[in-house]
Amino acid sequence: MNACALKPSKSTHTELCFTDCSFTVSKNNSPWGAAKSKPLKILSGISASVKSGHVLAIMGPSGAGKTSLLNILTCEDIGGAPVGKVTLNGVQLTSKLYTSHCAYVRQTDTLWPYLTPREYIEMASAMYGTDSDAEPSVDPVENVLKSVGLISCQHTKVGGGPGGGKSGLSGGQKRRLSLALAMVKNPSVLFLDEPTSGLDASSAAAIMDFLKVFAKQMNVAILCTIHQCVFHFAHAALPSIAIGLYLAFPLC
């Protein structure tokens, strides 16, 4: 996979910072459904930052609140009581700013089974207007497909659901297609919720290695959560930040 086929991010320097992020929900403490409830703190005092050209991975066990943290950082309305400061280049990250400069790849691939990777990229390019920025002699869709290694299956339907048949893209190919759709937006910050979820060790390593190359070559700040240990293919073997049940460490 070659990230060089895409244009560098619109921002020359980006830094996402989050400080003292906490999240509390109300928990009913009675088995009979009484109205009494007590606050349950899911996250407490989490702080970190990631700059353009780097990947920050946050590792924690299932149920630790990794997705809840991403929901706070991506301005998702998830109920409860989120607290903390999130800034992009020193400016408070609002929903409008997030929409303009960020992209989010969720844990589950929500892809229509009867479309092909090429059709997906064509629609995304038209929606974001990135196809109009390309040089006349360059096929932007072809560039994206090359970047994520989907040229060989560009005309294969995603499959795996009603209307798409049983056969189709593999789990790793679907993950790369979801990444490609986010990359078409040309974001300054890319969030990923467990990009290695459901993949074998080899596919997981390939995805994370690609993210490291992509962050550097495209000058994008990447923040992802991971469930499985990736120390065997991360450059830094020790965590730079230890936060409760979390290990937050830079991969590049």
pLDDT value at residue 3: 47
Of 84-93, 215-224, 243-252, the range with the lowest mean pLDDT is 243-252
What is the pLDDT of the chain when averaged over all its residues? Answer: 78
pLDDT value at residue 4: 43
Among 172-186, 191-205, 229-243, top mean pLDDT goes to 172-186
Structure tokens belonging to residue 245: 């049940």
Q: Where are the domains of the chain?
A: 3-25+39-250
pLDDT value at residue 90: 94
pLDDT value at residue 58: 86
Query: Domain 3-25+39-250 belongs to what topology?
Result: Rossmann fold (3.40.50)
pLDDT value at residue 134: 53
pLDDT value at residue 215: 87
> What is d(CA 26, CA 56) in angstroms, rounded to the nearest whole number?
30
* Strand-strand pairing, 221-226 and 55-59: parallel
More confident residue, 34 or 98: 98
Mean pLDDT value across residues 16-28: 86
**Cβ pair 188, 11 in contact under 8 A:** yes
More confident residue, 162 or 46: 46
Residue 166: band (very low, low, confident or very high) from pLDDT cuts 50, 70, 90? low
Instruction: State pLDDT tens for residues 168-177.
Output: 898 888 888 9
Mean pLDDT value across residues 103-111: 87
CA 9 to chain centre: 16
pLDDT of 137 higher than 70 = no
pLDDT of 102 higher than 90 = yes
Mean pLDDT value across residues 77-91: 88
pLDDT value at residue 251: 59
Instruction: State pLDDT tens for residues 205-239.
Output: 778 888 888 888 889 999 988 876 554 444 433 33
